[in-house]
Amino acid sequence: MRVAEFQVLCRRLEATPSRLAKVELAAEFLQRLDVDEIPSAVAFLSGRVFPASDPRVLEVSWATLAEVLHALVPPPAGGSLTLLDVARGLAAVAEVSGPGARRAKVERLGELLGRATADEREILRRVLLGEMRIGLHEGLLEEAIARAAGADPGLVRRAALFRSDLAEVARIALTEGVPGLQAVGVRLFVPLLPMLAELAGDLSEAWEAHGGRTALEFKYDGARIQLHKAGDQVRIWSRRLTEVTGSLPDVVAIAARELRAGSVILDGEVVAVGPGDRPLPFQELMRRFRRVHDVDAAVREVPVALYLFDCILVDGRPLIDEPYGKRWEALEQVTGGRRLARRLVPGDAAAGEAFFAEALAAGHEGVMAKALDSPYAPGSRGKRWLKVKRAETADCVIVAADRGSGRRRGWLSNYHLAVRDEAGGFAPVGKTFKGLTDREFVEMTARLQALAVDDDGYTVTVSPEVVVEVAYNEIQRSPRYRSGFALRFARVTRIREDKGPAQATTLGELRALYERQFASKGRRG
C-alpha cells in the first residue's frame, strides 16, 4: 500500500461529513491492506506513530520536525513510498538513543520524509504530531474494522476493551475473522482498560442508584495500577496502560511474596506515604513513576502503600462477569486479607456517612460506592461504580497556554482548559494560572513548549496531551466558550500523569455536574 493511497483516503475522510460514508471508506481501505501493513495503517489512522501496545516512542518534538521539513529538498513529483517504508523508517528513528541522538533522529527522519511527495509529507506530518483531524474517531474506526471483517461492531468493541490496542484488534479481525474476535478475552500480561466510575454528588445519590445496598471503599489519592502475576513473574501497568514494573520493585516484591495464586490479575492503587502512613501529595508519588535511574533510592525516599480492590483473574479463570461481591471474596482469598482497600458494606445511610467522614479524616479523597452485583466492565464508566468526593473537580486537558508576565515572565503560566466533546475533540471551559509551584511552572513550561503546534507570540497552542485535575467553586453558563460552560475560580490541584486525554472529563459529564448544582441552590430564569 503506497502512502499516496493513504493520503487520498485521509483527504476523502476529512471532506466527508457522513459517518456511514466514513466507515465505508475506511473499511474498503482496510480490506486492501496486506497482513503486515494492518497494525501501522490502523495506528496512523488513529493519529498514532506506533500501535498502542508498542512501547516505543519517537521522541521528536514539533520544533525538531519543523527543522527537518525546512531542510528538505524539493519533493519528488511521483510517490513510491509505502506504508511499510514509513513504519520501518519511524522504527529506525525510535531506536536512536544516547549521545548525538537528536542529530541522528533528524537525519533518519529527513531520509524518510525526503522520499515523500508534498502531499505525503503533509499527511505524515499530521501523523507524527497526532493531528489527523479526519473525523475518524475510535468508535467509527471500530465500525470500519467490523465492516471490513464482516463482524458485529459489538464484538470488535469487546475485543478492543480486552486488548487495549485497536491495531491488534484489526489484525485479528482481518486475519482470523469472527472466530478470532470471539476468542479474545482476559490474558495474563496483556493489560486491559480499567473499569471507571462516575462522579456522584453525595452518598445519598449512590445509595439510591444501588437500591439501598452498596459497598463503600476509601478513595485513595494515588495511582491506579493493574498487577499481573504468573508464577515468579510479576508485571505492573498504570491506568494509561504504561508498564511501571521497574518503578515499583517494592510492590513487585509484595506480590511475589504474599499473593496466594499461581496466576492472578488484580486492580488496585499505590499511594505515597509519610510518617504514620499518612498519604503524601500525589506529586510525590509521580517522582517514583518518573524515576528511571536510582530506583532503589526513590523507594527509600518515597515509600508507597498498596491497596487492592478487585480481582479480574485467578488461576487462569477470568472473573470479569462475576458480581463485585464474588470478586471481593476471591480477592480476600488471594491476598489472605492483606493490602486490601478499607471497605464497608453499610447497613444504613448513617453508617455510610460515618465511613465517608473517616476516609476524609484519614487524608483520602472520599469513597467509592460499588454495586454488589456489578460485573467488571473494562473501560466502562457508569453508575455501577460511583465516586463521592468532598470537593468538586474535573480532569481537564491543557490545549494552550499564555506567556506570563511580572514574576511569571518567561513561563507559560495561564493554562487554557478543555473537556472532551461528543465529536472526540476538546471544548474550552476556562483558564487558570493558579495551583502550581514555581518549580512546577518551570517544568510545565518546558513540557508544553515541546508539545507546541502554533505560537502567535502570546498564546502557545499545544497538542492536547497534558491532563490536570482542576478544582472549581461553580460551573457557570458562558457564551464565551464553545462548550457553553466556564469553571469559576478554577485552580490546578494536581497534574494527572496517570491519565491520558481520552480519560479527561467529558462535556456530557460537565453538563450533568452543572445541573446537579441546582439540587441545593435556586435557578435564575
DSSP states of 54-86 as a string? Answer: --------HHHHHHHHHHPPPPPSS---BHHHH
Give the DSSP H/E element, type plus range, for residue 383.
Answer: strand 381-389
Helix (H/G/I), strand (E/B), else coil: 16: coil
Helix (H/G/I), strand (E/B), else coil: 354: helix
Helix (H/G/I), strand (E/B), else coil: 297: helix
Cα–Cα distance, 366 to 474 (Å, whole number): 19
Please tell me what DSSP assigns to residue 123.
Answer: H
- The neighbour count for residue 198, using CB atoms within 10 Å, is 16
Cα–Cα distance, 134 to 145 (Å, whole number): 16
Cα–Cα distance, 256 to 182 (Å, whole number): 32
Contact 222, 271 (CB under 8 A): yes
In 3D, which of 210, 318, 220 has the Cα closest to residue 264? 318
Q: How many CA atoms lie within 13 A of 142 on its CB side?
A: 18
Q: Which three cell numbers stand for residue 336?
A: 489472605
User: How open is the CA angle 281-294-494, to the nearest 5 degrees?
Assistant: 20
In 3D, which of 189, 181, 190 has the Cα closest to residue 157? 181
Q: Which three cell numbers stand for residue 115?
A: 522520499
Cα–Cα distance, 333 to 331 (Å, whole number): 5
Helix (H/G/I), strand (E/B), else coil: 109: helix
Cα–Cα distance, 171 to 39 (Å, whole number): 6
β pairing state of 381-389 and 196-200: parallel
Cα–Cα distance, 368 to 154 (Å, whole number): 29
Give the contacts of 346 (CB within 8 A, at least 6 positions apart). 214, 216, 352, 355
Cα–Cα distance, 299 to 310 (Å, whole number): 25
Cα–Cα distance, 13 to 18 (Å, whole number): 9
In 3D, which of 130, 129, 132, 133 has the Cα closest to residue 63? 129
The torsion of the CA quartet 219, 223, 226, 229, rounded to 10 degrees, works out to: -110
Which of 219, 387, 389, 431 is catalytic? The answer is 219
Told to judge if 219 belongs to the known catalytic residues of this protein, a careful annotator would answer: yes
Q: Active-site positions?
A: 219
